[in-house]
Amino acid sequence: MSVLSAPPEGSVHASCVAWNGEGVLISGPSGSGKSELALRLMDAGFDLVADDRVVLDGTIASAPERLAGLIEVRGVGILRTPFVINARVRLRVYLGEGQPRLPEPCRDPWTGAVMLRLEPGFPGTVARIRAAVKACCGVYDWVAGAGENVAET
């Protein structure tokens, strides 16, 4: 799946979690760690929206009915967890591509959300995602970087 692909119709191969109802869409190549990162974010207080497949309706993410509340935990199994029915995507995290220390402003072509490119296992990834969501929602002010023009939208 190309990061610069056109908006999808129906579902995409991705995971999604929410922080206070604001969605973080996690995408990347197969095996890049989408479910693992979603699990780490859930452990840090995020809520599951969808794992493996995400239905996008504009900026709203939800789980396909048959996958609602399910997450694959590698080496453990498939678990049923609490989940939120849908969330507005505020941030898209694309895994498998490193990003410079101070990235240029970038928007997701699928949802219009701020877009980050991160390595999932890098120390502090969960904290960086939480900070980025807070900046997207106005809790923090985004001065420079991937979402520097957030206030303009």
Q: Which two tokens stand for residue 118?
A: 């991160």
Residues with catalytic roles? 13, 34, 52, 107
Alpha helices in the chain (DSSP H): 34-43, 125-136
Planar angle of CA 93, 66, 3, nearest 5 degrees: 25
Strand 22-27 to strand 86-95: parallel, antiparallel, or no bridges (unpaired)?
A: parallel
**Residue 88 CB partners (closer than 8 Å, separation 6+):** 21, 22, 23, 59, 60, 61
Structure tokens at 121: 């296992």
Classify 118 as helix, strand or coil: strand
